Structure formats: structure tokens, C-alpha cells
Amino acid sequence: MATGGLREKLITEGIAELGERGLENFSVRRIAARCGVSCAAPYKHFPDKKSYISAIVDYINAIWEERQRAAASRKQTTREKIVEVCLEYIKFLVENPQLYAIILQSPVNDAKAEFGALRGRLSRPTRELINKYCAEAGIPGEVRRRKTFVVRSLVYGAVLMLGSGELDYTPESLKMVTDAINREFDLS
């Protein structure tokens, strides 16, 4: 197996490991076995466990950045972009439940920084779009903070409900989320 291929396989198996077992039980040894390589092989790509987890975080973020960039480019106005990026984030997490499990884990000890950074980077595009929209519309800071909170709550609530099957993952359900986000921006 080529090294680039092994590095990516280690990352994708690391994602599966984190999704199944969480940060506390993350085992480089188990991942190596899943990849059919020696226990030392992952350390040829990642100096230590922390940098391995950071590589996984970077990998997830790169996938999301590409998807959110494509989503934003499909719309013209800032408000339309907010809704489109939010819907894409919902789809991203519902269609990749292992990523959802990783992103929403409660990190422990030294992993808190990596996972806090991941969450921050994943939600940054939405926050930036909301800030831009509020600036364009002359909406004050306190209202902007509330809108950011409500929109992010709608997104994570929708992911939870869609991912658990409480709400069917259908165009109608996504339209309901779209309407709720738009309603928030209709309120002052």
C-alpha cells in the first residue's frame, strides 16, 4: 500500500474508531490492526496520538470546508447563503453519523483543545455569514448573538432529530428547518 493511501486509511479508520469508542478509548494499536499494519506504522505518519487526532480533525474540517464553500456558491444573497450552508451542515452530519458522533463528543484532558478548535472551525462559516447579514441589515450585536444562538440551535436540534429518526430525513423536514431559519431572520 502506498504511504499516501495508508495515511488516508489510518485517518478514515481513526474516524471510525473515534465514532465507535470515543476519545478516551481511542487506540492507535487497534486502528493499526484494522488497517493490517504493524503498531509502529501509524507513527511513521503521525508523531504521536495527539497529532494523529489533529490530522483527523483537519481531515474532517477539509471535507466540510469544501462542502460549505460549494453550498454558499449556489446562492446570491447573504441570507440565502446562511440557509444553504446550514442545510448543508445538517446533511453533512446526518449523512456522516460517525462525524457527528466525533464532533459532539465531550472531549477529555488534552483533546479539549483539538475538539474545541474543530467545533469552532466547523461553525465559523455560519457565524461569519450571520455577522455579515446582521451588519448589512443594521442589526445590533445583542440581536446578532441571539440569532447566531437560535440558528445554531436549530441546526444541531435538526441533526439530532433527523439522525435519531425522530424526524424523517426528507425534503419536507429540511424545508421545515429552512422556514424556521428564515423566520428567525424575519424577527427583529
Which tens digit of pLDDT belongs to each residue from 50-90?
Answer: 889 888 888 888 888 899 999 999 999 999 999 999 999 99
**For the whole model, what pTM was predicted?**
0.82
Query: Which cell is 49 given?
Result: 496520538
Torsion of CA 157, 79, 144, 86, to 10 degrees: 20
111 vs 170, more confident: 170
The contacts found for 167-172 with CB under 8 angstroms, 24 or more apart, are: 169/94
Give the per-residue pLDDT at 85.
Answer: 94
- List the domains of the chain with CATH numbers: 57-186 (1.10.357.10)
103 vs 76, more confident: 76
